[in-house]
Chains A and B, each alone.
Chain A
Protein backbone atom coordinates (compact mmCIF):
# COMPACT_ATOMS: atom_id res chain seq x y z
CA UNK A 1 0.00 0.00 0.00
CA UNK A 2 1.37 3.42 -0.98
CA UNK A 3 0.58 7.00 0.02
CA UNK A 4 -2.29 7.09 -2.45
CA UNK A 5 -3.52 3.77 -1.09
CA UNK A 6 -2.63 2.11 -4.38
CA UNK A 7 -2.48 -1.64 -4.69
CA UNK A 8 -0.18 -3.26 -7.22
CA UNK A 9 -1.97 -5.73 -9.46
CA UNK A 10 -0.77 -7.77 -12.41
CA UNK A 11 -2.16 -5.10 -14.73
CA UNK A 12 -0.78 -2.05 -12.88
CA UNK A 13 -1.34 0.26 -9.94
CA UNK A 14 -4.95 0.21 -8.74
CA UNK A 15 -6.29 3.11 -6.67
CA UNK A 16 -9.65 2.46 -5.07
CA UNK A 17 -9.28 4.10 -1.67
CA UNK A 18 -8.18 7.56 -2.75
CA UNK A 19 -8.44 9.94 -5.73
CA UNK A 20 -6.47 10.66 -8.91
CA UNK A 21 -6.60 14.44 -9.08
CA UNK A 22 -2.84 14.75 -9.33
CA UNK A 23 -3.11 13.16 -12.78
CA UNK A 24 -5.56 15.88 -13.84
CA UNK A 25 -3.60 18.79 -12.50
CA UNK A 26 -4.48 21.14 -15.36
CA UNK A 27 -8.13 20.88 -14.43
CA UNK A 28 -7.37 21.48 -10.75
CA UNK A 29 -5.39 24.59 -11.68
CA UNK A 30 -8.16 25.84 -13.96
CA UNK A 31 -10.72 25.31 -11.21
CA UNK A 32 -8.59 27.15 -8.71
CA UNK A 33 -8.24 30.01 -11.18
CA UNK A 34 -12.01 30.30 -11.32
CA UNK A 35 -12.55 28.75 -14.73
CA UNK A 36 -15.64 26.74 -15.54
CA UNK A 37 -14.27 23.26 -15.89
CA UNK A 38 -15.83 20.14 -17.36
CA UNK A 39 -16.09 17.14 -15.08
CA UNK A 40 -13.29 14.62 -15.50
CA UNK A 41 -15.72 11.80 -14.71
CA UNK A 42 -19.46 11.33 -14.83
CA UNK A 43 -21.16 8.67 -12.73
CA UNK A 44 -24.56 7.79 -14.16
CA UNK A 45 -27.18 5.16 -14.91
CA UNK A 46 -29.22 4.51 -18.02
CA UNK A 47 -32.31 3.57 -16.01
CA UNK A 48 -33.68 3.75 -12.46
CA UNK A 49 -34.92 0.18 -12.80
CA UNK A 50 -33.25 -2.75 -11.06
CA UNK A 51 -34.22 -6.36 -10.53
CA UNK A 52 -32.43 -6.59 -7.21
CA UNK A 53 -33.54 -5.30 -3.84
CA UNK A 54 -30.27 -4.82 -1.98
CA UNK A 55 -30.85 -3.83 1.61
CA UNK A 56 -27.97 -1.33 1.44
CA UNK A 57 -29.11 0.32 -1.79
CA UNK A 58 -28.85 4.10 -1.70
CA UNK A 59 -31.28 4.29 -4.63
CA UNK A 60 -34.03 3.81 -2.04
CA UNK A 61 -33.54 7.43 -1.01
CA UNK A 62 -32.80 8.87 -4.47
CA UNK A 63 -36.24 9.06 -6.05
CA UNK A 64 -36.62 12.25 -8.08
CA UNK A 65 -39.92 13.69 -9.30
CA UNK A 66 -39.72 12.10 -12.74
CA UNK A 67 -38.97 8.59 -13.92
CA UNK A 68 -38.34 9.28 -17.57
CA UNK A 69 -37.11 6.43 -19.74
CA UNK A 70 -33.82 7.18 -21.42
CA UNK A 71 -33.96 6.59 -25.19
CA UNK A 72 -31.02 5.35 -27.24
CA UNK A 73 -30.59 8.59 -29.26
CA UNK A 74 -30.56 10.64 -26.06
CA UNK A 75 -27.89 8.39 -24.59
CA UNK A 76 -25.74 8.69 -27.71
CA UNK A 77 -26.17 12.48 -27.78
CA UNK A 78 -25.04 12.52 -24.18
CA UNK A 79 -21.81 10.81 -25.14
CA UNK A 80 -21.25 13.31 -27.95
CA UNK A 81 -21.79 16.15 -25.50
CA UNK A 82 -19.37 14.61 -23.02
CA UNK A 83 -16.75 14.37 -25.74
CA UNK A 84 -17.36 17.95 -26.83
CA UNK A 85 -16.96 19.50 -23.39
CA UNK A 86 -14.07 17.29 -22.25
CA UNK A 87 -15.45 14.56 -20.00
CA UNK A 88 -12.89 11.75 -19.92
CA UNK A 89 -14.76 8.85 -18.38
CA UNK A 90 -18.22 7.55 -17.61
CA UNK A 91 -19.09 5.09 -14.87
CA UNK A 92 -22.39 3.29 -15.28
CA UNK A 93 -23.23 2.96 -11.60
CA UNK A 94 -25.54 5.49 -9.97
CA UNK A 95 -29.17 4.71 -9.15
CA UNK A 96 -30.14 1.94 -11.56
CA UNK A 97 -29.06 -1.30 -13.22
CA UNK A 98 -27.87 -0.01 -16.59
CA UNK A 99 -27.58 -3.46 -18.15
CA UNK A 100 -31.40 -3.46 -18.31
CA UNK A 101 -31.49 -0.46 -20.66
CA UNK A 102 -31.79 -0.78 -24.43
CA UNK A 103 -29.17 1.94 -24.61
CA UNK A 104 -26.61 -0.12 -22.65
CA UNK A 105 -24.66 -1.74 -25.50
CA UNK A 106 -24.76 1.16 -27.98
CA UNK A 107 -23.88 3.65 -25.23
CA UNK A 108 -20.75 1.76 -24.25
CA UNK A 109 -19.66 1.10 -27.81
CA UNK A 110 -20.19 4.73 -28.84
CA UNK A 111 -18.31 6.07 -25.81
CA UNK A 112 -15.42 3.77 -26.54
CA UNK A 113 -15.39 4.84 -30.19
CA UNK A 114 -15.14 8.55 -29.31
CA UNK A 115 -12.38 7.96 -26.75
CA UNK A 116 -14.28 8.13 -23.50
CA UNK A 117 -13.38 5.45 -20.97
CA UNK A 118 -16.33 3.49 -19.62
CA UNK A 119 -16.68 1.49 -16.44
CA UNK A 120 -19.71 -0.45 -15.25
CA UNK A 121 -20.98 -1.63 -11.90
CA UNK A 122 -23.63 -4.32 -12.18
CA UNK A 123 -25.19 -7.19 -10.31
CA UNK A 124 -24.52 -9.25 -13.44
CA UNK A 125 -27.91 -10.90 -13.40
CA UNK A 126 -28.94 -9.75 -16.89
CA UNK A 127 -25.38 -9.64 -18.17
CA UNK A 128 -25.46 -12.75 -20.29
CA UNK A 129 -22.62 -13.93 -22.58
CA UNK A 130 -24.13 -12.33 -25.70
CA UNK A 131 -24.13 -8.94 -24.01
CA UNK A 132 -20.72 -9.49 -22.41
CA UNK A 133 -19.20 -10.26 -25.81
CA UNK A 134 -20.45 -6.93 -27.14
CA UNK A 135 -19.29 -4.71 -24.31
CA UNK A 136 -16.30 -6.23 -22.53
CA UNK A 137 -13.72 -5.21 -25.15
CA UNK A 138 -14.95 -1.61 -24.81
CA UNK A 139 -14.91 -1.40 -21.02
CA UNK A 140 -12.08 -0.19 -18.78
CA UNK A 141 -13.45 -1.97 -15.74
CA UNK A 142 -16.44 -3.92 -14.52
CA UNK A 143 -17.30 -4.15 -10.86
CA UNK A 144 -19.89 -6.68 -9.79
CA UNK A 145 -21.99 -6.04 -6.75
CA UNK A 146 -21.56 -9.19 -4.68
CA UNK A 147 -23.06 -8.47 -1.29
CA UNK A 148 -21.91 -11.67 0.37
CA UNK A 149 -19.68 -14.67 -0.06
CA UNK A 150 -22.29 -17.35 0.55
CA UNK A 151 -25.21 -18.02 -1.79
CA UNK A 152 -27.69 -17.74 1.06
CA UNK A 153 -26.23 -14.52 2.41
CA UNK A 154 -26.10 -13.07 -1.08
CA UNK A 155 -29.75 -13.92 -1.77
CA UNK A 156 -30.85 -12.59 1.61
CA UNK A 157 -29.13 -9.24 1.16
CA UNK A 158 -29.72 -8.72 -2.56
CA UNK A 159 -33.03 -10.45 -3.18
CA UNK A 160 -36.16 -11.74 -1.51
CA UNK A 161 -34.79 -14.33 0.92
CA UNK A 162 -31.94 -16.74 1.55
CA UNK A 163 -33.81 -19.40 -0.42
CA UNK A 164 -33.47 -17.54 -3.74
CA UNK A 165 -29.91 -18.59 -4.42
CA UNK A 166 -30.62 -18.78 -8.15
CA UNK A 167 -29.62 -15.12 -8.40
CA UNK A 168 -26.22 -15.95 -6.90
CA UNK A 169 -25.74 -18.82 -9.33
CA UNK A 170 -26.63 -16.67 -12.31
CA UNK A 171 -24.27 -13.88 -11.25
CA UNK A 172 -21.38 -16.28 -10.65
CA UNK A 173 -21.91 -17.91 -14.04
CA UNK A 174 -21.73 -14.55 -15.79
CA UNK A 175 -18.74 -13.32 -13.78
CA UNK A 176 -16.83 -16.51 -14.60
CA UNK A 177 -17.67 -16.07 -18.27
CA UNK A 178 -16.23 -12.54 -18.17
CA UNK A 179 -13.08 -13.70 -16.37
CA UNK A 180 -12.56 -16.37 -19.02
CA UNK A 181 -13.26 -13.97 -21.89
CA UNK A 182 -10.76 -11.47 -20.52
CA UNK A 183 -8.10 -14.16 -20.47
CA UNK A 184 -9.04 -15.57 -23.86
CA UNK A 185 -8.94 -12.20 -25.62
CA UNK A 186 -6.21 -10.75 -23.42
CA UNK A 187 -8.38 -7.74 -22.66
CA UNK A 188 -7.19 -4.82 -20.56
CA UNK A 189 -10.44 -4.60 -18.62
CA UNK A 190 -10.22 -4.87 -14.83
CA UNK A 191 -12.76 -7.18 -13.21
CA UNK A 192 -13.67 -6.85 -9.57
CA UNK A 193 -16.36 -7.70 -7.08
CA UNK A 194 -17.59 -5.38 -4.37
CA UNK A 195 -19.17 -5.93 -1.00
CA UNK A 196 -21.01 -2.99 0.52
CA UNK A 197 -20.50 -3.68 4.18
CA UNK A 198 -23.14 -3.05 6.78
CA UNK A 199 -22.21 -4.16 10.29
CA UNK A 200 -24.85 -6.91 10.25
CA UNK A 201 -23.09 -8.55 7.28
CA UNK A 202 -19.85 -9.20 9.18
CA UNK A 203 -20.09 -13.00 8.87
CA UNK A 204 -19.90 -12.61 5.10
CA UNK A 205 -16.57 -10.77 5.07
CA UNK A 206 -14.26 -13.80 4.94
CA UNK A 207 -16.47 -15.85 2.57
CA UNK A 208 -16.50 -12.80 0.28
CA UNK A 209 -12.70 -12.64 0.24
CA UNK A 210 -12.50 -16.36 -0.52
CA UNK A 211 -15.07 -16.00 -3.29
CA UNK A 212 -13.05 -13.23 -4.95
CA UNK A 213 -10.01 -15.48 -5.02
CA UNK A 214 -12.00 -18.49 -6.24
CA UNK A 215 -13.54 -16.47 -9.08
CA UNK A 216 -10.13 -15.26 -10.17
CA UNK A 217 -11.22 -11.64 -10.53
CA UNK A 218 -8.59 -8.93 -10.29
CA UNK A 219 -9.85 -7.64 -6.98
CA UNK A 220 -12.50 -7.92 -4.33
CA UNK A 221 -13.21 -4.67 -2.55
CA UNK A 222 -15.06 -4.08 0.70
CA UNK A 223 -16.45 -0.63 1.29
CA UNK A 224 -18.64 1.22 3.75
CA UNK A 225 -22.36 1.76 3.21
CA UNK A 226 -23.56 5.31 2.57
CA UNK A 227 -26.62 6.64 4.32
CA UNK A 228 -28.59 9.83 4.03
CA UNK A 229 -28.32 12.59 6.62
CA UNK A 230 -31.34 11.21 8.48
CA UNK A 231 -29.97 7.68 8.83
CA UNK A 232 -32.78 6.19 6.74
CA UNK A 233 -30.82 3.00 5.97
CA UNK A 234 -29.80 2.62 9.60
CA UNK A 235 -26.04 2.30 9.14
CA UNK A 236 -24.27 2.31 12.52
CA UNK A 237 -20.78 3.63 11.73
CA UNK A 238 -19.61 3.03 15.29
CA UNK A 239 -19.79 -0.72 14.69
CA UNK A 240 -17.30 -0.81 11.84
CA UNK A 241 -14.38 -0.74 14.25
CA UNK A 242 -15.46 -4.08 15.72
CA UNK A 243 -14.90 -5.64 12.29
CA UNK A 244 -11.37 -4.38 11.65
CA UNK A 245 -9.78 -7.75 12.49
CA UNK A 246 -12.07 -9.51 10.03
CA UNK A 247 -11.26 -6.95 7.36
CA UNK A 248 -7.54 -7.42 7.93
CA UNK A 249 -8.02 -11.18 7.69
CA UNK A 250 -9.92 -10.68 4.44
CA UNK A 251 -7.04 -8.67 2.97
CA UNK A 252 -4.69 -11.52 3.83
CA UNK A 253 -6.51 -13.66 1.25
CA UNK A 254 -4.86 -11.63 -1.53
CA UNK A 255 -2.73 -13.59 -3.94
CA UNK A 256 -0.87 -12.96 -7.19
CA UNK A 257 -4.06 -12.83 -9.26
CA UNK A 258 -6.61 -11.38 -6.88
CA UNK A 259 -6.21 -8.51 -4.45
CA UNK A 260 -8.63 -8.15 -1.57
CA UNK A 261 -8.91 -4.45 -0.81
CA UNK A 262 -10.61 -2.67 2.06
CA UNK A 263 -11.55 0.98 1.66
CA UNK A 264 -10.11 1.83 5.05
CA UNK A 265 -10.18 5.57 4.57
CA UNK A 266 -13.95 5.63 4.21
CA UNK A 267 -14.63 2.86 6.70
CA UNK A 268 -12.66 4.66 9.42
CA UNK A 269 -14.28 7.97 8.58
CA UNK A 270 -17.47 7.25 10.59
CA UNK A 271 -19.57 9.16 8.12
CA UNK A 272 -18.71 12.76 8.93
CA UNK A 273 -16.67 14.69 6.38
CA UNK A 274 -13.89 17.06 7.35
CA UNK A 275 -15.01 19.57 4.73
CA UNK A 276 -17.84 22.08 4.87
CA UNK A 277 -18.01 22.95 1.20
CA UNK A 278 -18.66 20.42 -1.55
CA UNK A 279 -16.25 21.02 -4.44
CA UNK A 280 -16.11 17.46 -5.74
CA UNK A 281 -19.10 17.52 -8.11
CA UNK A 282 -17.33 19.96 -10.42
CA UNK A 283 -14.85 17.17 -11.14
CA UNK A 284 -17.11 14.17 -10.71
CA UNK A 285 -20.70 14.80 -11.72
CA UNK A 286 -23.62 12.42 -11.26
CA UNK A 287 -26.64 11.78 -13.44
CA UNK A 288 -29.67 9.76 -12.40
CA UNK A 289 -31.12 6.92 -14.41
CA UNK A 290 -34.14 9.18 -14.75
CA UNK A 291 -32.04 11.57 -16.83
CA UNK A 292 -31.88 14.10 -14.00
CA UNK A 293 -28.62 16.01 -13.85
CA UNK A 294 -27.67 16.95 -10.30
CA UNK A 295 -24.26 17.65 -8.78
CA UNK A 296 -24.32 14.46 -6.75
CA UNK A 297 -26.44 11.37 -6.30
CA UNK A 298 -26.94 12.65 -2.78
CA UNK A 299 -29.30 15.23 -4.33
CA UNK A 300 -31.40 13.16 -6.72
CA UNK A 301 -34.37 12.97 -4.38
CA UNK A 302 -37.11 15.58 -4.84
CA UNK A 303 -36.11 16.89 -1.41
CA UNK A 304 -33.09 18.54 -3.05
CA UNK A 305 -35.01 20.12 -5.95
CA UNK A 306 -33.12 23.38 -5.57
CA UNK A 307 -30.00 21.52 -6.67
CA UNK A 308 -31.55 20.00 -9.81
CA UNK A 309 -29.91 21.27 -12.98
CA UNK A 310 -31.99 19.75 -15.77
CA UNK A 311 -32.77 16.50 -17.53
CA UNK A 312 -30.76 15.39 -20.53
CA UNK A 313 -33.87 13.68 -21.92
CA UNK A 314 -35.47 17.11 -22.26
CA UNK A 315 -32.50 19.17 -23.39
CA UNK A 316 -28.95 18.53 -24.49
CA UNK A 317 -26.46 17.98 -21.71
CA UNK A 318 -24.05 20.51 -23.22
CA UNK A 319 -26.75 23.17 -22.88
CA UNK A 320 -27.25 22.23 -19.23
CA UNK A 321 -23.50 22.34 -18.65
CA UNK A 322 -23.21 25.81 -20.22
CA UNK A 323 -26.29 27.17 -18.43
CA UNK A 324 -26.21 29.67 -15.59
CA UNK A 325 -28.20 27.22 -13.43
CA UNK A 326 -25.44 24.61 -13.63
CA UNK A 327 -22.87 27.06 -12.37
CA UNK A 328 -25.07 28.77 -9.83
CA UNK A 329 -25.81 25.39 -8.24
CA UNK A 330 -22.13 24.42 -8.27
CA UNK A 331 -21.29 27.77 -6.68
CA UNK A 332 -24.01 27.27 -4.07
CA UNK A 333 -22.32 24.06 -2.94
CA UNK A 334 -19.06 25.99 -2.60
CA UNK A 335 -20.70 28.78 -0.60
CA UNK A 336 -21.42 29.11 3.13
CA UNK A 337 -25.10 28.49 2.41
CA UNK A 338 -24.24 24.81 1.97
CA UNK A 339 -22.86 22.75 4.83
CA UNK A 340 -21.60 19.35 3.65
CA UNK A 341 -21.46 18.14 7.24
CA UNK A 342 -25.19 18.45 7.84
CA UNK A 343 -27.00 18.89 4.53
CA UNK A 344 -26.19 15.70 2.66
CA UNK A 345 -25.74 11.99 3.16
CA UNK A 346 -22.58 10.26 4.26
CA UNK A 347 -19.51 9.55 2.15
CA UNK A 348 -20.68 10.48 -1.33
CA UNK A 349 -18.90 9.20 -4.40
CA UNK A 350 -17.16 12.59 -4.55
CA UNK A 351 -15.79 12.19 -1.01
CA UNK A 352 -12.11 11.59 -1.81
CA UNK A 353 -12.07 14.36 -4.39
CA UNK A 354 -13.93 16.80 -2.16
CA UNK A 355 -11.64 16.13 0.77
CA UNK A 356 -8.53 16.58 -1.36
CA UNK A 357 -9.78 19.83 -2.90
CA UNK A 358 -10.72 21.18 0.51
CA UNK A 359 -7.27 20.44 1.91
CA UNK A 360 -5.75 21.92 -1.24
CA UNK A 361 -7.66 25.17 -0.80
CA UNK A 362 -6.87 25.36 2.89
CA UNK A 363 -3.19 24.75 2.18
CA UNK A 364 -3.16 21.65 4.37
CA UNK A 365 -2.15 19.33 1.54
CA UNK A 366 -1.64 20.90 -1.86
CA UNK A 367 -2.36 18.63 -4.81
CA UNK A 368 0.81 18.14 -6.79
CA UNK A 369 1.11 17.32 -10.47
CA UNK A 370 2.01 13.67 -10.86
CA UNK A 371 4.63 12.76 -13.38
CA UNK A 372 4.89 9.18 -12.29
CA UNK A 373 3.45 6.01 -13.67
CA UNK A 374 -0.23 6.45 -14.41
CA UNK A 375 -2.47 4.19 -12.35
CA UNK A 376 -5.12 1.97 -13.85
CA UNK A 377 -8.36 3.78 -14.68
CA UNK A 378 -6.63 7.16 -14.43
CA UNK A 379 -9.64 8.96 -15.89
CA UNK A 380 -11.95 7.68 -13.19
CA UNK A 381 -11.40 10.03 -10.26
Chain B
Protein backbone atom coordinates (compact mmCIF):
# COMPACT_ATOMS: atom_id res chain seq x y z
CA UNK B 1 0.00 0.00 0.00
CA UNK B 2 1.64 3.27 -1.06
CA UNK B 3 1.01 5.21 2.11
CA UNK B 4 4.23 7.16 1.98
CA UNK B 5 2.91 9.85 -0.35
CA UNK B 6 1.00 11.79 2.28
CA UNK B 7 3.21 14.86 1.88
CA UNK B 8 3.89 14.59 -1.83
CA UNK B 9 2.44 17.15 -4.22
CA UNK B 10 0.52 15.93 -7.24
CA UNK B 11 2.27 16.40 -10.59
CA UNK B 12 1.37 19.61 -12.39
CA UNK B 13 1.37 20.36 -16.09
CA UNK B 14 4.53 21.56 -17.75
CA UNK B 15 5.21 25.12 -18.85
CA UNK B 16 5.04 23.88 -22.42
CA UNK B 17 1.51 22.52 -21.89
CA UNK B 18 0.36 25.70 -20.19
CA UNK B 19 1.77 27.86 -22.98
CA UNK B 20 -0.29 26.06 -25.65
CA UNK B 21 -3.77 27.16 -26.57
CA UNK B 22 -6.55 24.65 -25.94
CA UNK B 23 -6.97 23.72 -29.61
CA UNK B 24 -3.33 22.72 -29.78
CA UNK B 25 -3.62 20.70 -26.55
CA UNK B 26 -6.70 18.90 -27.82
CA UNK B 27 -4.94 18.09 -31.09
CA UNK B 28 -1.99 16.72 -29.15
CA UNK B 29 -4.18 14.55 -26.95
CA UNK B 30 -6.28 13.37 -29.90
CA UNK B 31 -3.15 12.33 -31.74
CA UNK B 32 -1.93 10.46 -28.68
CA UNK B 33 -5.27 8.68 -28.36
CA UNK B 34 -4.99 7.63 -32.00
CA UNK B 35 -1.40 6.45 -31.62
CA UNK B 36 -2.34 4.48 -28.51
CA UNK B 37 -5.35 2.88 -30.23
CA UNK B 38 -7.86 4.60 -27.95
CA UNK B 39 -9.47 6.87 -30.57
CA UNK B 40 -12.31 4.44 -31.24
CA UNK B 41 -13.15 4.47 -27.53
CA UNK B 42 -12.65 8.07 -26.40
CA UNK B 43 -12.36 11.61 -27.68
CA UNK B 44 -11.14 14.67 -25.88
CA UNK B 45 -13.77 17.30 -24.98
CA UNK B 46 -11.72 19.81 -23.00
CA UNK B 47 -8.00 20.16 -22.40
CA UNK B 48 -7.48 23.04 -19.95
CA UNK B 49 -4.14 24.35 -18.79
CA UNK B 50 -4.36 22.45 -15.47
CA UNK B 51 -4.37 19.16 -17.37
CA UNK B 52 -7.77 18.02 -16.09
CA UNK B 53 -8.98 16.52 -19.36
CA UNK B 54 -12.61 15.66 -19.95
CA UNK B 55 -13.14 12.77 -22.32
CA UNK B 56 -16.24 11.52 -24.06
CA UNK B 57 -16.50 7.76 -24.20
CA UNK B 58 -17.66 6.49 -27.58
CA UNK B 59 -18.51 3.02 -26.32
CA UNK B 60 -20.25 1.80 -23.20
CA UNK B 61 -17.86 0.14 -20.79
CA UNK B 62 -19.19 -2.04 -18.00
CA UNK B 63 -18.61 -1.10 -14.37
CA UNK B 64 -16.02 -3.84 -14.09
CA UNK B 65 -14.14 -2.72 -17.21
CA UNK B 66 -14.00 1.04 -17.15
CA UNK B 67 -11.90 1.65 -14.06
CA UNK B 68 -8.75 -0.16 -15.08
CA UNK B 69 -9.21 0.75 -18.73
CA UNK B 70 -9.27 4.47 -17.96
CA UNK B 71 -6.47 4.31 -15.39
CA UNK B 72 -4.31 2.62 -18.02
CA UNK B 73 -5.26 5.28 -20.54
CA UNK B 74 -4.39 8.05 -18.09
CA UNK B 75 -1.01 6.54 -17.34
CA UNK B 76 -0.17 6.27 -21.02
CA UNK B 77 -1.25 9.86 -21.69
CA UNK B 78 0.88 11.06 -18.80
CA UNK B 79 3.92 9.30 -20.23
CA UNK B 80 3.28 10.36 -23.79
CA UNK B 81 1.87 13.90 -23.48
CA UNK B 82 2.33 15.48 -20.05
CA UNK B 83 2.79 14.15 -16.53
CA UNK B 84 0.27 16.67 -15.20
CA UNK B 85 -2.61 15.15 -17.16
CA UNK B 86 -5.57 13.69 -15.31
CA UNK B 87 -8.56 12.28 -17.12
CA UNK B 88 -12.24 12.52 -16.27
CA UNK B 89 -15.30 11.53 -18.26
CA UNK B 90 -18.30 13.60 -19.23
CA UNK B 91 -20.66 13.79 -16.26
CA UNK B 92 -24.19 12.45 -16.23
CA UNK B 93 -26.95 14.68 -14.84
CA UNK B 94 -29.48 13.60 -12.23
CA UNK B 95 -32.14 11.35 -13.78
CA UNK B 96 -34.66 11.94 -10.99
CA UNK B 97 -37.59 13.77 -12.58
CA UNK B 98 -38.60 15.09 -9.17
CA UNK B 99 -35.21 16.49 -8.23
CA UNK B 100 -34.80 17.94 -11.70
CA UNK B 101 -37.49 20.43 -10.67
CA UNK B 102 -34.82 22.00 -8.45
CA UNK B 103 -33.09 23.17 -11.61
CA UNK B 104 -29.62 22.11 -10.49
CA UNK B 105 -27.36 21.69 -13.51
CA UNK B 106 -24.29 19.56 -13.19
CA UNK B 107 -21.34 21.15 -14.95
CA UNK B 108 -20.57 19.55 -18.28
CA UNK B 109 -16.99 20.62 -18.26
CA UNK B 110 -14.36 21.58 -15.81
CA UNK B 111 -11.17 23.55 -15.73
CA UNK B 112 -11.91 25.94 -18.56
CA UNK B 113 -9.08 28.35 -19.21
CA UNK B 114 -9.61 31.70 -17.58
Contact = CB atoms under 8 A, between A and B. Distances in A.
A complexed with B: yes
Interface of A: 31-32, 34-35, 48-53, 55, 57, 59-67, 160, 228-230, 232-233, 275-277, 279, 291-293, 301-311, 314-315, 320, 323-325, 328-332, 334-339, 342-343, 358, 361-362
Contacts of B67: 305-310, 325, 328-329
Given A50-B96, A53-B96, A303 B2 contact: no
A31 B1 contact: yes
Interface of B: 1-11, 54, 57, 60-64, 66-68, 70-71, 74, 86-96, 98-99, 101-102, 104-107, 110
Contacts of A309: 63-64, 67
Contacts of B54: 303
B6 A32 contact: no
Given A63-B95, A305-B66, A314-B62, A232 B106 contact: yes
A334 B3 contact: yes
Contacts of A302: 89-92
Contact of A328 (B68, B86, B92, B102): B68
A328 B11 CA distance: 19
A332 B5 CA distance: 11
A66 to B, nearest CB: 7
B6 A233 contact: no
A232 B6 contact: no
17 contacts: A50-B98, A53-B99, A60-B96, A61-B106, A232-B104, A302-B91, A305-B61, A305-B67, A306-B71, A306-B74, A310-B67, A311-B64, A328-B71, A329-B71, A331-B1, A339-B10, A343-B86
B68 A305 contact: no
A361 B66 CA distance: 31
Contact of B68 (A60, A61, A324, A361): A324
A309 B70 CA distance: 12
Given A60-B99, A61-B104, A306-B88, 20 more contacts: A59-B94, A59-B99, A63-B92, A232-B104, A277-B6, A279-B3, A301-B92, A303-B89, A305-B57, A305-B61, A305-B70, A306-B87, A309-B63, A310-B63, A314-B62, A329-B71, A335-B5, A336-B10, A337-B11, A358-B6
A59 B100 CA distance: 11
Contacts of A61: 91, 94, 104, 106
B64 A53 contact: no
B98 to A, nearest CB: 5
Contacts, number: 158
A interface, by DSSP: helix, strand, loop or mixed?
loop
Nearest to A320: B64
Given A303-B90, A305-B57, A306-B67, A160 B101 contact: yes
A266 to B, nearest CB: 21
Closest 6 CB pairs of A and B: A306-B70, A311-B63, A303-B91, A302-B92, A339-B10, A310-B64
Contacts of B93: 63
A332 B74 CA distance: 11
Contacts of A325: 64, 67-68
Listed residue (B5, B10, B70, B98) with the most chain A CB atoms within 10 angstroms of its CB: B10
B88 A303 contact: yes
A49 B96 CA distance: 7
B95 to A, nearest CB: 6
A337 B52 CA distance: 11
A52 B104 CA distance: 15
Contact of A304 (B2, B4, B88, B105): B88
